Amino acid sequence: MKPSFKRENRGDLYRIMAISFIIQTFCPELCNQL
């Protein structure tokens, strides 16, 4: 594998984890607004 490919996959993993964390954090507020 290319190092850049690993680095990109790692970035995508961190991005997905961050997005899921933000959704779990702000989900109650979003659900209340709906």
> What local confidence, expressed as pLDDT, does residue 18 receive?
92
1-32 pLDDT, tens per residue? 565 656 667 788 899 999 988 888 877 776 66
Sign of the dihedral defined by the CA atoms of residues 16, 17, 18, 23, in that order: positive
Write down the pLDDT at residue 22.
Answer: 87
Distance CA 23, CA 29 (A): 10
Mapped onto helix, strand or coil, the DSSP state of residue 20 is: helix
- Buried b / exposed e over 17-26, threshold 16 CB at 10 Å, is eeeeeeeeee
CB atoms within 10 A of CB 7: 10
- Model pTM above 0.75: no
